[in-house]
C-alpha cells in the first residue's frame, strides 16, 4: 500500500492532502494517515505545511493552488524522486 500512495502522488504531479489521497485510494483518512507518516519518516514523502504566500519548501511555490483552500498539510515527493518531466 505504501507504494500505491507514492504512485498516486507521483501520478498527480502536485502535492496532495490527506483527503485527496483518501479519495484516490479508497482508504479512510485515519488509516491512511499512519501510512503517510511512515513515508514521511522514511524520507519518501515530504509534509508541506502552510507557512504563508511563496512558501519556500513547496515545489509549486508562488502558484500554490493547494494551500490557498485552507488545507494545513499536503504531501509531495522529495525533489530527487520527482520525475524530470514533472519538474519542468
Mean pLDDT of 29-45: 95
Which has the higher per-residue pLDDT, 15 or 32?
A: 32
Mean pLDDT of 29-41: 94
Helices of type H across the chain? 2-12, 18-25, 29-41
What pLDDT sits at residue 81? 72
Asked if residue 59 is part of any domain, the answer here is yes
Asked if residue 58 is part of any domain, the answer here is yes
Q: What pTM did the predictor assign?
A: 0.71
Asked if residue 42 is part of any domain, the answer here is yes
Asked if residue 87 is part of any domain, the answer here is no
Asked if residue 21 is part of any domain, the answer here is yes
What pLDDT sits at residue 86? 44
Mean pLDDT of 47-76: 64
Give the residue numbers spanning the domain of 65. Answer: 2-78
Asked if residue 85 is part of any domain, the answer here is no
Contact 78, 43 (CB under 8 A): yes
Amino acid at each position: 500500500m505504501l507504494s500505491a500512495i507514492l504512485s498516486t502522488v507521483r501520478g498527480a504531479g502536485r502535492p496532495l492532502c490527506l483527503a485527496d489521497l483518501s479519495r484516490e485510494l479508497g482508504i479512510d483518512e485515519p488509516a491512511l494517515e499512519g501510512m503517510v507518516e511512515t513515508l514521511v519518516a522514511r524520507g519518501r514523502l515530504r509534509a508541506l505545511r502552510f507557512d504563508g504566500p511563496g512558501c519556500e519548501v513547496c515545489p509549486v511555490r508562488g502558484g500554490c493552488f493547494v494551500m490557498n483552500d485552507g488545507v494545513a498539510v499536503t504531501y509531495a515527493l522529495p525533489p530527487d524522486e520527482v520525475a524530470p518531466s514533472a519538474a519542468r
